[in-house]
């Protein structure tokens, strides 16, 4: 089963400095049919104006992954971590027992990003933050794992994905026009795919730019790019 969620149907917010689209209920947007997808609770598609951002605010018991699409975001938190994550790179914040952080766009251009929240396997874990560069060459016609708490993904190793405290993985791929990839899936698990850019066909179904695809009970994904495409996907226990 693949449920396509067109970009035009997503929830929205516009605060001037922040323009956001919500794949799932968030803030003032409420849709009982879109409260999450398994452990995936939030997928926000944000555009942050230059010189603005999120003032210090708290989180707890949530794995928060930021995938920067354009520009950069600068993070600062109550543990003393400071870091700038640029386009194509990823940061992970495990809120655990509690953390306060801020995120600002200090660049001269708008920053666009996906912010993805995943429910942790256990509550009250020590909070943590990390950021890594992942060369796009490693994602050509294949899904590269960027953050993971799955067994066997070697999360936290020198060349491995960033670690998260959840039986889930965040991955990304790029496709040239006409190129195809096949991604095996465990039919007992769930996946959620977003086309960050470009149009693709997923198991025969068209997925447009920034559309979402909620995936259940599929043994594989056969994805063909109709134009240059960038894909981000979460795979997780149901």
CATH, residue 186: 2.60.120.10
Residue 45 has pLDDT above 90, yes or no: yes
Q: What mean pLDDT value characterizes the chain? A: 96
In angstroms, rounded to a whole number, what is the distance separating the alpha carbons of residues 174 and 13? Answer: 28
**Whole-structure pTM value:** 0.95
Q: What Å distances lie between residue 84 and 25, 46, 64, CA to CA? A: 28, 17, 16
Q: What is the pLDDT of residues 110-161, one digit of tens each?
A: 999 999 999 999 999 999 999 998 888 889 999 999 999 998 887 777 778 9
Q: What is the pLDDT of residues 75-121, one digit of tens each?
A: 999 999 999 999 989 999 999 999 999 999 999 999 999 999 999 99
Looking up tokens 């149901």, which residue turns up? 238
Q: HSE (CB half, 13 Å, CA atoms) of 19?
A: 7
The number of distinct structural domains making up the chain is: 1
- Domain extent, residue 144, equals 2-236
């Amino acid at each position: 089963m693949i449920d396509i969620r067109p970009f035009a149907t997503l929830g929205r917010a516009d605060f001037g400095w922040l323009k956001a689209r919500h794949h799932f209920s968030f803030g003032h947007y409420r849709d009982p049919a879109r409260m999450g997808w398994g452990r995936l609770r939030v997928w926000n598609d944000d555009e942050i104006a230059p010189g603005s951002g999120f003032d210090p605010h708290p989180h707890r018991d949530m794995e928060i992954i930021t995938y920067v699409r354009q520009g950069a975001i600068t993070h600062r938190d109550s543990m003393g971590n400071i870091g700038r994550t640029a386009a194509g790179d990823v940061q992970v914040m495990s809120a655990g027992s509690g953390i306060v952080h801020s995120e600002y766009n200090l660049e001269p251009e708008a920053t666009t990003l996906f912010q993805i929240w995943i429910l942790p396997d256990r509550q009250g874990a020590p909070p943590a933050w990390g950021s890594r560069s992942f060369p796009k060459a490693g994602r050509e016609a294949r899904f590269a794992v960027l953050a993971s708490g799955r067994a066997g993904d070697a999360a936290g190793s020198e060349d491995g994905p960033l670690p998260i405290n959840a039986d889930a993985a965040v991955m990304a791929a790029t496709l040239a026009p006409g190129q195809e990839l096949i991604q095996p899936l465990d039919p007992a698990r769930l996946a959620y795919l977003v086309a960050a850019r470009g149009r693709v066909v997923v198991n025969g179904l068209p997925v447009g730019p920034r559309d979402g695809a909620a995936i259940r009970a599929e043994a594989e994904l056969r994805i063909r790019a109709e134009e240059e495409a960038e894909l981000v996907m979460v795979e997780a226990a149901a």
